[in-house]
Amino acid sequence: MAEATFKVEGMTCGGCASSVKKALERVGVTAEVDHEKGIAKVAGDADENVVRKAVEAAGFDFAGRA
């Protein structure tokens, strides 16, 4: 995966977005997360399953590609 956008459910504030961003960066991707749109734009060398696990580990629901 070079670049992809995923839907993330359950984010209600900037702190939520920050938690998702940090979780994604720990698995080796760069991310821009927008809690208002409920999306995470991800770039890097991780597959969708790794992204899903990172989002869920942060306490949010991964809803697939946007």
CATH number for position 61: 3.30.70.100
Question: Packing angle between helix 48-57 and helix 14-26, nearest 10 degrees?
Answer: 130
Which domain range does residue 41 map to? Answer: 3-65
pLDDT score of 17: 98
Please say whether the beta carbons of 54 and 6 come within 8 A.
no
> pLDDT tens digits, residue range 7-60?
999 999 999 999 999 999 999 999 999 999 999 999 998 799 999 999 999 999
Domain count within the chain? 1
Q: Does the pLDDT at position 5 exceed 80?
A: yes
pLDDT score of 2: 86
pLDDT score of 1: 66
Please say whether the beta carbons of 24 and 1 come within 8 A.
no
Q: How far is CA 45 from CA 18, 51, 57, 62, in A?
A: 20, 10, 19, 18
- 42/34 Cα distance (integer angstroms): 12
pLDDT score of 16: 98
